[in-house]
């Protein structure tokens, strides 16, 4: 089933699940080994509720104020919240206190603050280190050459549970080029696992490069428009 603008969220979710299952089959991955993170930035609370009613539990948000408002409106729903936006070192507390996961750690200073600010009553904050695999095109993320050292340091922090690596590569349409970027992330993960770090997560793949990411071992794809349709314009 192909996603079109007129489909509602239940239909879109069903189509996305089918797309993930197909990619798992096509690339020899076990059924269910790729988790869906529904990226709900700029989408209404009602849209999140509609997805949640269809069994979607994990939602990704990029903006802190927006995420706080949504968490309050959805406090009754069993949602796993993932922060996938840019992290600023003076705004770590709402992430440490309000989220289950953070995917965008790219420096130790921020990781230390998140660890210190994680309330002791909560489980350690699940986190991924963001790696900039496509070079100068995107500024966010640690350089591949520095990723291992950052991962070793983050793994020591008591308030954090280092789960893996995340990347947001340059948007290209060529399948082989998409795969090459994701293969880099997987290689860094494999080297760290060989050193003894228990990393079970590769957060990679979005609406237009999901198949390449699954082919290279993604365990979590971050899909926004494929689940919710086009994002409303930012109003703030
Ligand atoms: C917005 C966003 C996504 C989702 O992008 P789509 O193209 O809508 O699927 C995934 N990851 C991050 C980090 C994002 O900011």
Render pLDDT for 162-208 as a digit per residue (tens, 0 to 9): 999 999 998 899 999 999 999 999 999 999 999 999 999 999 999 99
Q: What is the DSSP string of 59-126?
A: EEE--HHHHHHHHHHTTTS--EEEE-S---GGG-HHHHHH-SEEEEE-SHHHHHHHHHHS-TTSPPEE
Q: What pLDDT is attached to residue 170?
A: 86
Quick one: tokens of 15?
């189509």
| Binding-site residues, ligand 1, Cβ < 6 A | 39, 41, 62, 84, 168, 206-207, 222-226
Separation between Cα atoms, residue 170 and residue 138, nearest integer Å? 7
- Nearest residue (by CA) to ligand 1, atom 13, is 84
The residue whose CA has the least distance to atom 8 of ligand 1 is: 224
Residue 225 CA: nearest ligand 1 atom is 8
The reported pTM is 0.94
Q: How far is the CA of 151 from the centre of ligand 1 (A)?
A: 23
Give the pLDDT of residue 40. 97
* Ligand 1 centroid to residue 57 C-alpha, Å: 17
Q: Is 23 helix (H, G, I), strand (E, B) or coil?
A: helix
- CATH numbers and ranges of domains, the chain: 9-228 (3.20.20.10)
Q: 60-93 burial, b for 16+ CB within 10 Å, e for fewer? A: bbbbbebbeebbeebeeeebebbbbbebeeeebe
Q: What is the pLDDT along the chain (236 residues), one digit of tens a residue?
A: 444 444 699 999 999 999 999 999 999 999 999 999 999 999 999 999 999 999 999 999 999 999 999 999 999 999 999 999 999 999 999 999 999 999 999 999 999 999 999 999 999 999 999 999 986 666 789 999 999 999 999 999 999 999 999 999 988 999 999 999 999 999 999 999 999 999 999 999 999 999 999 999 999 999 999 999 998 876 55
Query: For 197-210, b where at least 16 C-beta lie within 10 A, e where not — what string?
Result: bebebbbbbbbebb
pLDDT at 137: 60
């Amino acid at each position: 089933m192909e996603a079109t603008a007129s489909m509602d969220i239940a239909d879109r979710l069903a189509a996305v699940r089918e797309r993930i299952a197909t990619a798992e089959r096509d690339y020899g991955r076990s059924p269910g080994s790729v988790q869906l993170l529904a990226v709900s930035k700029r989408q209404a609370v009602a849209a999140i509720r509609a997805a949640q009613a269809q069994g979607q539990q994990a939602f990704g948000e990029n903006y802190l104020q927006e995420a706080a408002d949504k968490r309050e409106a959805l406090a009754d729903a069993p949602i796993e919240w993932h922060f996938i936006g840019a992290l600023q070192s003076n705004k770590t507390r709402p992430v440490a206190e309000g989220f289950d996961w953070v995917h965008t750690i790219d420096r130790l200073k921020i990781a230390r603050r998140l660890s210190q600010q994680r309330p002791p009553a909560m489980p350690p904050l699940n986190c991924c280190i963001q790696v900039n695999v496509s070079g100068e095109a995107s500024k966010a993320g640690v350089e591949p050459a520095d990723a291992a050292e950052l991962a070793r340091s983050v793994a020591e922090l008591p308030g954090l549970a280092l789960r893996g690596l995340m990347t947001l590569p340059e948007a290209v349409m060529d399948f082989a080029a998409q795969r090459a970027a994701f293969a880099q992330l997987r290689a860094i993960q494999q080297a760290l696992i060989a050193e003894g770090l228990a990393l079970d997560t590769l957060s990679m793949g979005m609406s237009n490069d999901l198949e390449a990411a699954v082919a290279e071992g993604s365990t979590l794809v971050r899909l926004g428009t494929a689940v919710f349709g086009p994002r409303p314009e930012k109003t703030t």
